[in-house]
Amino acid sequence: MEICDQCKEQSTKSYRAKPHDSLRQVDDVRIFKSLKSKGYIEQDYQCNTCNSKFTQSTNKNDLPWVLWEM
């Protein structure tokens, strides 16, 4: 199945952007902390329309919305 237009748009958004309506959370939130940083979180999502999988990250060194599968 081809990636839907909403997922194409989602992959260009900032980490503050909310997931589009067809994205649902999968798995638990992962929290990463260290002594020298405030830490960051990651959450996985899957699209109900096209089954694409995303990870949303608040880490400044990562892409905010990473598309893993189409």
Closest CA to 18 of 70, 65, 61: 65
pLDDT digits (tens, 9 = 90+) for 16-30: 899 999 999 999 999
Residue segments in the chain with a per-residue pLDDT below the cut of 50: none
pLDDT of residue 69: 64
What domain range includes position 65?
Answer: 5-69
State the total domains in the chain.
1
